Amino acid sequence: MGQKIIVIGGVALGPKAACRCMRLAPDSEITLFDENSLISYGGCGIPFFVGGDVDNVKELCSTPYQTLRDPGYFRDMKGFEVKTNTRVTAIDRAAKTVTAKNLLTGEEMTCPYDKLVLATGAKPRPADVPGADLENVYTLTKLEAADAVRHLMESRKAESAVVVGGGFIGLEAAVAMADQWGVKVSVVEMMNQVLPGVLSESLSLMAKHDLESNGVDVYTGEKVLRMEGVDGKVCKVVTDKREIEAQLVIYSTGFLPNGQLAKDAGLEVTSRGAIVVNEYMQTSDPDIYAGGDCCSIKNLITGAQGYLPLGSMANRQGRVIGTNLAGGKATFKGYVGTWAVKLFAKAFCGTGLTVEMARRSDFDAIGVLVEQLDKAHFYPQHDITALELVVEKGTSRVLGIQGCSANADALKARIDPVAALLQHIQPTVEDISTLEAAYAPPVAAAMDVINAVGNAAENVLAGRCQVITAQEFYELWQNRDKNNYFFIDARPQKAGDAIQAEYPDWHAISLEGIQTRWNEVPKDRPVAIICNTGLRSYDAVLCLARHGITDVRHTMGGMQALLAQGGKIKK
Amino acid sequence: MGQKIIVIGGVALGPKAACRCMRLAPDSEITLFDENSLISYGGCGIPFFVGGDVDNVKELCSTPYQTLRDPGYFRDMKGFEVKTNTRVTAIDRAAKTVTAKNLLTGEEMTCPYDKLVLATGAKPRPADVPGADLENVYTLTKLEAADAVRHLMESRKAESAVVVGGGFIGLEAAVAMADQWGVKVSVVEMMNQVLPGVLSESLSLMAKHDLESNGVDVYTGEKVLRMEGVDGKVCKVVTDKREIEAQLVIYSTGFLPNGQLAKDAGLEVTSRGAIVVNEYMQTSDPDIYAGGDCCSIKNLITGAQGYLPLGSMANRQGRVIGTNLAGGKATFKGYVGTWAVKLFAKAFCGTGLTVEMARRSDFDAIGVLVEQLDKAHFYPQHDITALELVVEKGTSRVLGIQGCSANADALKARIDPVAALLQHIQPTVEDISTLEAAYAPPVAAAMDVINAVGNAAENVLAGRCQVITAQEFYELWQNRDKNNYFFIDARPQKAGDAIQAEYPDWHAISLEGIQTRWNEVPKDRPVAIICNTGLRSYDAVLCLARHGITDVRHTMGGMQALLAQGGKIKK
């Protein structure tokens, strides 16, 4: 007989590790415990179930070929036992046993193991304000809660909802409820931006604008103080700035790794309670593996321990554990942090560090943003893509990239190559400039937007231009009575003229015109220049420099970025 | 004053190098010569102009912000001179001068240079059969020819057309004429497949089927012997197997680098006539740079000199040359060969070597193909993606990847990360299995198709299953009276039953059923097993192996691959 293996946790990593091990070492005796009744579900699909894209919760528990992944499936098809509704309460590492309790019958059992896998996942950070126990206050990580929220949607019992937390799940849930069910949704985020930690402030404004343009109210930098109810049901959320009516509140303020069982067994955990593993996914006890949302993993860019609770990570780690359970030597070296989220009209995607994260990790970093078409401009379908490359000054090292586009697939195609490089080398800006990407007019421009952002970063790092974000340009413009800036619109003349007709301070001097009209630009005032995407204004900056006008700020991403962030120049 | 620089050639690389140099070293004196009247055009856009997606040929000569790139544009906006209709006839390296002739006036001039750039491009391989000089026989690389073909389309003077050559431009032109103008198109390709050199034979069948399903006749392994005409106009193409009516013939059988000028000047060129350059893009004369379609560049996978005439390559190399003209030290290290092409319903994309190319380069290579959804199966929009990973046995080194999908952007998102790795490291199958890619249900499955193909390759390399292509399965099935194979359909029972009702030799034993029905499978005959995509049949193979049935071939990509290749089992 093979080894006795116990797996604790049956969502993503646990079943994956067990299946992989059974394929490689079919004589293994594996038992998987999960305290819930439904297992092996796509937790990331919950917002799509709430929204109605997914019709039945069982679709989330099914294989791509429509087989329900229940205990019978794993027994018959994969050859291992699954005990649901069964909680493992303790690990005895000396005796190599676990104690488990059937939550339905109360029955306790002690089971021996040769190897143990901890796939205990994470729990949502609980609502920590008064009113958290009111009816219709949910977190969305369990299928049961998802079912309840979907029911509220279908029965039209929630006309307004508040989502607390502007991260992935919170925003996906907000979009699902507003878009599919017409619910009035407000998002309250404590940090000063949505998608904190994964988007720069600049790109986060584009996410906020996409939400607001589609009827979702977004309140950033705002703290929930309490929730109030009527007849035990929530009816209102009170923040430090306002009161918001709500028949439904979804709390999604992050996850806490379920590391207590490991900690109680004397295994090493981080201060946040995440289990520490080596590159073979072994805990401090080599006979005990752990992976997925309960674990801390290494950030390959900073070298520090980090946390990335994503189903895609869990699946990859699960396969590594399965291989190693069967005697292999597979490794999981760490993560760079690659993600995507689709809101209403816009998708966002990124990898590595944002400029703010990089600075917090003591990199002397800048973010360089471009806006460019994702396909040949003469090809009839194309979307404008915003990409922000995060680079370290001095070394030109690339630390991350994030972006925004209406075409989620096309955006992913620009992010994932950088993610691949970040996993293996320390790429430089030149590596992005010369990145060889698939080209044909229906999928890219000959100078792809990914190369363009590398080129732009190289120009900034070489000091060929001083850049400002669209948001900074907008603030300068709005405060033009308090500063001394000279504003230039380098777009084709007619576009700029239309604004100058309203605002004489707006100087429409097209790139074509600036070759002869540079002498209209004062040398004793700072200049802020904008065009449609940043291409023309960069050439205008070089032209002005040739005439000795050098105190010039060029607006990254131009009017496209400004409008995407919700900025508005024309009356 | 700065350096005198002469650039020969004004399509992609020449203007790019000149613009870049002027930005970095604005005191340079640059003159660009081109023998044609139109310059700086997107040559890759020609099929889209023929098809009507692009309405005016000037769109191909315009910037993304609709400025026409003519000599005036380059003079006023970029600060350098462009002389069109002017052919450089000789280079005197000792005197550092070039001789040029104005093709309109006949005027000759001798111009000195400090640095010279050869961007002379490539010419289409000429039609080398009788009838090549008939009217309405074209190659498609010049705008003038494109204009003539478009005119034939608009005036409906060509009801049928033959495209000779099944490469990118040939197929794009075939699609454009058939799809947009309803012309009856036939493609004749001398090699035994379309897209030779970039697609495996297996994937090329999917391209062929996509063309044929949309009314294009495809004749592979067929040689054009002559063209015949009436009144000087082409009316028929005669091959070694048939005669095809045609009022229009487009020859697109590859390119020949324009290296004669360089060769005459004593610069090093390859036996095919391509100019040899180092990683700074310098020719054997360090004051003379060359790049783009006239050059040989290094294949980073094989280490050999190769040739990749793509606009995307030219743009990247042009920037490197521009930087170096201005005193920089930028490098272009070589190419891995990344491309894309969109046909009718399907797009194709790839990088690196195909399995056949790898074998020709003496790698002991196999191609492993999977078919999988490109997004979470519960997400409402998704397409099936075929990916074929080319790997070296023994080392597990990844040599290339190619694929097919209805969603060109989503396919590119899987290919480009591998392209990025191939440029910098020698990736292994494990690197593909653990590749971290952006994940959310609207853009990927938690176990992405790119990871899945890595996993599948690992299983094959480890000897866990013997694989056959869908084409091989189809041939075995069609020749079942001549072989002794036992055929199993492991799809859900009903799907297999429907075929078994027609063909008793088709054994419908679903994956669910095989756990108990394995004893129906004979041990003394080879077994060929198929399912929908390859997932279920792989599990079935493992199940049979546990019962001692090991002479089993598992069909990569399953029925999805078979159908995409035009295979047909049911009556």
- DSSP-derived secondary structure for A30-62: EEEE-SSSS-S--GGGHHHHHHTSS--GGGGGB
From residue B447, alpha-carbon distances to A310, B410, B438, B441 in Å are 11, 15, 11, 11
Which residue of B lies nearest to A531 if distances are taken between CA atoms? B65
Say yes or no for a CB contact (<8 Å) between B444 and A312.
yes
Of B23, B333, B350, the CB nearest to A542: B23
Q: Taking all residues of chain B, what is their mean pLDDT, rounded to a whole number?
A: 94
Confidence band of B320 (pLDDT split at 50, 70, 90) = very high
Q: Which of B69, B348, B412 to mutate to test the interface with A (most CBs of A within 10 A)?
A: B412
Please give the model's pTM, rounded to 2 decimal places.
0.95
Is residue B44's pLDDT more than 90? no
Q: Regarding predicted confidence, which is higher, B167 or A66?
A: B167
Q: A376: distance to nearest CA of chain B, Å?
A: 8
Residues A80, A537: Cα–Cα separation, whole Å: 63
CA A119, A124, A130 angle in degrees (round to 5)?
150
Query: How close are the terminal C-alpha atoms of chain A, in Å?
Result: 78
In one-letter notation, the amino acid at residue B527 is V
Q: Which of A58, A316, A414, A536 to mutate to test the interface with B (most CBs of B within 10 A)?
A: A316
Confidence band of B310 (pLDDT split at 50, 70, 90) = confident
Query: Looking at residue B40, what is its pLDDT?
Result: 73
Which residue of A lies nearest to B317 if distances are taken between CA atoms? A434
3-state secondary structure of B310: coil
Which residue of B lies nearest to A492 if distances are taken between CA atoms? B65
Reported in sequence order, the residue ranges of B155-308 that DSSP labels E, i.e. its strands, are: 160-164, 184-189, 217-220, 224-230, 233-239, 243-245, 248-251, 255-257, 275-276, 288-290, 295-298, 305-306
Query: Looking at residue A65, what is its pLDDT?
Result: 63
In one-letter notation, the amino acid at residue A374 is D
Chain B residues close to A511, C-beta within 8 Å: 77
Is residue B537's pLDDT more than 80? yes
Of A378, A408, A435, the CB nearest to B420: A435
CA nearest B399: which of B386, B413, B385, B418? B418
CA nearest B93: which of B70, B74, B73, B116? B116
Is residue B57's pLDDT more than 90? no
3-state secondary structure of B517: helix
Chain A residues close to B311, C-beta within 8 Å: 439, 446
Of A44, A446, A515, the CB nearest to B440: A44
How many H-runs (helices) and E-runs (strands) does chain A carry?
17, 31
Query: Looking at residue B531, what is its pLDDT?
Result: 95
Q: A234: distance to nearest CA of chain B, Å?
A: 31
In one-letter notation, the amino acid at residue B257 is P
Which residue of A lies nearest to B341 if distances are taken between CA atoms? A440
The pLDDT tens digits for A465-478 are 999 999 999 999 99
In one-letter notation, the amino acid at residue B30 is I
Share of chain B above pLDDT 90, in %: 82
Is residue B419's pLDDT more than 70? yes
For chain B, the C-alpha Rg in angstroms (whole number) is 27
Chain B residues close to A376, C-beta within 8 Å: 42, 44-45, 48
Q: Which residues touch B301 (CB under 8 Å, ≥6 apart)?
A: B336, B337, B352, B353, B361, B399, B400, B422
Chain A residues close to B293, C-beta within 8 Å: none
Q: B442: distance to nearest CA of chain A, Å?
A: 7
Say yes or no for a CB contact (<8 Å) between B339 and A408.
no
Specify whether the CB–CB gap between B265 and B205 falls below 8 A: no
Is residue B566's pLDDT more than 70? yes
Residues A391, A305: Cα–Cα separation, whole Å: 21
Query: Looking at residue A534, what is its pLDDT?
Result: 92
Q: The tokens 């040359």 sit on which residue?
A: B321
Q: A62: distance to nearest CA of chain B, Å?
A: 9
Say yes or no for a CB contact (<8 Å) between B349 and A443.
yes
Query: How close are the terminal C-alpha atoms of chain B, in Å?
Result: 78
Query: Looking at residue A64, what is its pLDDT?
Result: 66
Please compute the mean of the pLDDT values over residues B47-74 and round it to a whole number.
Answer: 80
Which residue of B lies nearest to A312 if distances are taken between CA atoms? B446
3-state secondary structure of A520: helix
Of B340, B431, B437, the CB nearest to A439: B340
Q: Which of B312, B418, B425, B509 to mutate to test the interface with A (most CBs of A within 10 A)?
A: B312
Of A408, A435, A436, the CB nearest to B442: A408
**How would you list the strands of the sheet with B233-239, edge to edge?**
B224-230, B233-239, B243-245
Q: B491: distance to nearest CA of chain A, Å?
A: 9
For residue B53, give the DSSP letter.
S
Write the Ramachandran bin of B344: left for phi over 0, alpha for psi from -120 to 50, otherwise beta: alpha
Say yes or no for a CB contact (<8 Å) between B349 and A438.
yes
Chain A residues close to B439, C-beta within 8 Å: 44, 310-312, 338-340
Say yes or no for a CB contact (<8 Å) between B439 and A413.
no
Low-confidence stretches of chain A (pLDDT beneath 50): none
Q: What is the DSSP string of B196-241?
A: TTTS-HHHHHHHHHHHHHTT-EEEES--EEEEEEETTEEEEEEESS
Name the burial class of residue A376, with classes exposed (0-12), middle (13-18) and buried (19+) by CB atoms within 10 angstroms of its CB.
Answer: buried
3-state secondary structure of B331: coil
Least confident among B85-89, B138-142, B269-273, B543-547 = B138-142
From residue A237, alpha-carbon distances to A170, A183, A218, A243, A248 in Å are 16, 16, 14, 6, 10
Distance of CA A118 to the CA centre of its chain: 25
Is residue B78's pLDDT more than 90? no
Instruction: For A152, list phi and psi in degrees, rounded to 5.
Output: -60, -40
Say yes or no for a CB contact (<8 Å) between A430 and B330.
yes
From residue B269, alpha-carbon distances to B277, B321, B452 in Å are 9, 19, 43
Which residue of B lies nearest to A543 if distances are taken between CA atoms? B77
Longest Cα–Cα distance of chain A, Å, equals 88
Which residue of B lies nearest to A344 if distances are taken between CA atoms? B442
Residues A469, A485: Cα–Cα separation, whole Å: 15
Specify whether the CB–CB gap between B195 and B166 falls below 8 A: yes
Q: Which residues touch B506 (CB under 8 Å, ≥6 apart)?
A: B487, B489, B496, B499, B500, B569
Pairing of strands A29-33, A184-189: unpaired
Pairing of strands B217-220, B184-189: parallel
Say yes or no for a CB contact (<8 Å) between B26 and A542.
yes
Specify whether the CB–CB gap between B528 and B468 falls below 8 A: yes
Say yes or no for a CB contact (<8 Å) between A312 and B447.
yes
Least confident among B99-103, B334-338, B442-446 = B442-446
Q: A335: distance to nearest CA of chain B, Å?
A: 7
> What is the 3-class SS of A425-458, one letter each residue?
CCCEHHHHHCCCCCCCCCCCCCCCHHHHHHHHHH
ipTM for the complex?
0.95
Residues A8, A15: Cα–Cα separation, whole Å: 10
Q: Which residues touch A478 (CB under 8 Å, ≥6 apart)?
A: none
Chain B residues close to A379, C-beta within 8 Å: 45, 48, 53-54
Say yes or no for a CB contact (<8 Å) between A436 and B313.
yes
Say yes or no for a CB contact (<8 Å) between A351 and B532.
no
Half-sphere exposure of B472 (CA within 13 A, CB side): 16
Q: Which residues touch A269 (CB under 8 Å, ≥6 apart)?
A: A259, A262, A263, A275, A276, A296
Say yes or no for a CB contact (<8 Å) between A447 and B315.
yes
Q: Regarding predicted confidence, which is higher, B36 or B131?
A: B131
Q: B249: distance to nearest CA of chain A, Å?
A: 23
Chain B residues close to A68, C-beta within 8 Å: none
Token pair listed for B83: 């002389």
Chain A residues close to B438, C-beta within 8 Å: 338-340, 349-351, 412, 415-416, 419
Please compute the mean of the pLDDT values over residues B149-171 and round it to a whole number.
Answer: 93
Q: A467: distance to nearest CA of chain B, Å?
A: 17
Token pair listed for B291: 């790049």
Query: Looking at residue B562, what is its pLDDT?
Result: 97
Other Cβ atoms closer than 10 A to A525: 13
Chain A residues close to B27, C-beta within 8 Å: none
Confidence band of B65 (pLDDT split at 50, 70, 90) = low
Chain B residues close to A404, C-beta within 8 Å: none
Say yes or no for a CB contact (<8 Å) between B425 and A424.
yes
User: Burial code of A10-24, b = ≥16 C-beta within 10 A, e = fewer?
Assistant: bbbbbbbbbbbbbbb
Q: What is the DSSP string of B344-398?
A: SS-EEEEEE--HHHHHHTT--EEEEEEEEESS-TTSSS--EEEEEEEEETTT-BE
